[in-house]
Amino acid sequence: MTDRPDPIDEQLKGYAARWRDALPPPPAVPTDLPTHSAGFGRRGRGVVGWLPLVAAAVVLAVVVVAVRLGQGGTDLGSVGGPTASATTTATSSATATGSAVNNGVVPWVPLPATNPLIPVTTVPASPDPALAQGLPVCRAADLTATSDIEGATGTMYLFVQIVSRTGTAACRLEGFPNVVSLVNGAAVSIPSVHGTVVSDAPGGIYPHPVLVAPDVPAALTLFWSNWCGQAVRQTHVRLTWPSSAGGVTVPGFGQSPGCQMEPGTVVKTPFGVSTFKPAEVRDELVTTAYAGVTATMDAPSVVAVGEPIRLTVTLTAPRDIPLEPCPDILVGDYTQPPDGTNDRYALNCAAVPYRDSAGRPYLPATVPVRFAAEVPAANVGEGTKLLWRLALPDGADPVDAGSATEVR
């Protein structure tokens, strides 16, 4: 019995023949090569001698590629792509050198607090108190005064302005005046006190002498609140001061204010009298380059005790501000006076993608710059509300956000 031919075997034989016929002719063999051993025919010697040469060429090509890639500093790994360790290293390096910004947020890195020395500028008070030093005390006869009343029945304010008459020399006023209440020219007994009676009342104590001239007024504020009892009238007030040689008279409150307490309560609150002060005054100001910077904070409203707080601080500057030195942030409980307790953390200013002509990182004018941060809360007690602000010198206007995180 004759076995039927195996179709698979026949296909393999046909494939081998076609592959052999499709091969290019073997390369020429130099005549000085040693002859092969006996027993090989012409075709067998040609094929066998050619394949090892092709294999050697392939191995050489692989080695050359590997060397060139290695010189470029990229590890292809076993599957021809970047390895996990290479990717992690690149990311860490970029973060450390400040060249990576994730989704527009400067990444957080555990930087130490730097306690930077932020330069300050002191703007003198205006007007300069020295301008009034040495001037003679104003005489009442050389002055004119006006008054303006504002407010409702709860609290009333009487604003007084005093100027020198035209043609008179500049003079000075200072301290508290003496005030007498008048009704149609006759003195009436209405109590008054120095300083502020209402916590948010304007005026108060101005500690310097005040220059008065025809075009430079001095000011004075009287304020009155919560008169419980029989109403009284005050049509005018008369102001005097040491060496005044008389006084100035201006329209007063008119009627006493209303009572803000239970009916039947008898509390006759005196009206308050401020010191003389300039009509427009600005206190001495300590400022830094960060004056005018606004800030917001994106943070969880509640965290558990011991849970780290991950937040994003956004700073927006009104002008270009170099981040050298880079400010720290203070995170702590500011609900307790005077400033509560706080911890200090460095911002990652090195990673800010904006650079000025000197190569320094900076806050571009009106462009929000977001910083990621992570604050450990392990040492914070339950019920604490954490706020944050930039660490700026004492006396400078603080830069802080209005939101808070409560620890529960």
**Domains, the chain, ordered by start:** 22-71 (no CATH), 129-278 (no CATH), 289-407 (2.60.40.770)
Mean pLDDT of all residues belonging to the chain: 75
pLDDT by residue (tens digit) across 205-215?
888 999 999 99
Q: Is the dihedral of CA 319, 325, 356, 374 positive or negative?
A: negative
The secondary element (H helix, E strand) that includes residue 49 is helix 42-71
Tell me the mean pLDDT in the region 47-56.
33
Peptide bond just before 325 cis, omega within 30 deg:
yes
Least reliable range by pLDDT among 101-105, 177-181, 327-331:
101-105
**Which of 143, 231, 228, 225 shows the shortest CA–CA distance to 188?**
231
Amino acid of residue 292: G
End-to-end Cα spacing for the chain: 93
Predicted pLDDT of residue 12: 52
Q: Which residues pair with 149 in a beta bridge?
A: 158
Give Cα 190 to chain centroid, integer Å: 50
How many other C-beta atoms can be found within 10 angstroms of the C-beta atom of residue 103? 7
Predicted pLDDT of residue 11: 56
pLDDT-derived band at 373, boundaries 50, 70, 90: confident
pLDDT-derived band at 242, boundaries 50, 70, 90: very high
Highest mean pLDDT among 233-237, 280-284, 325-329, 384-388: 233-237
Tell me the mean pLDDT in the region 125-134.
90
Beta strands in 152-288, from DSSP E residues, in sequence order: 155-164, 171-173, 178-183, 186-188, 192-194, 210-212, 218-225, 227-228, 233-240, 248-255, 267-268, 271-273, 277-278, 285-287
Q: Is the dihedral of CA 30, 31, 34, 40 positive or negative?
A: positive
Amino acid of residue 152: A
Predicted pLDDT of residue 54: 32
pLDDT by residue (tens digit) across 195-207?
764 544 556 688 8
Predicted structure pTM score: 0.52
How many other C-beta atoms can be found within 10 angstroms of the C-beta atom of residue 156? 21
Give Cα 175 to chain centroid, integer Å: 40
Residue whose tokens read 């076609």: 18
Phi and psi at 162, nearest 5°, equal -130, 130
Predicted pLDDT of residue 235: 96
More confident residue, 87 or 229: 229
Whether residue 131 is predicted with pLDDT greater than 60 in this model: the reply is yes
Long-range CB contact pairs, 330-337, < 8 A, 24+: 330/388, 330/389, 330/390, 330/391, 331/375, 331/386, 331/387, 331/388, 332/386, 332/387, 332/388, 333/380, 333/384, 333/385, 333/386, 333/387, 334/387, 334/389, 335/385, 335/387
Phi and psi at 140, nearest 5°, equal -55, -35
Predicted pLDDT of residue 335: 61
Query: Which two structure tokens, joined as six digits, stand for 359?
Result: 């190569």
DSSP for 158-194, written as a single string:
EEEEEEEPTTPPPEEE-SPPEEEEEETTEEE---EEE
**Which of 323, 392, 327 shows the shortest CA–CA distance to 362?**
323
Radius of gyration of the chain (CA): 44
Whether residue 31 is predicted with pLDDT greater than 50 in this model: the reply is no
pLDDT by residue (tens digit) across 64-110?
222 222 233 322 222 222 222 222 222 222 233 334 567 889 999 88
Predicted pLDDT of residue 166: 95
pLDDT by residue (tens digit) across 135-176?
999 999 999 999 999 986 678 999 999 999 999 999 999 999
Query: Which two structure tokens, joined as six digits, stand for 286?
Result: 């300590």
Predicted pLDDT of residue 304: 85
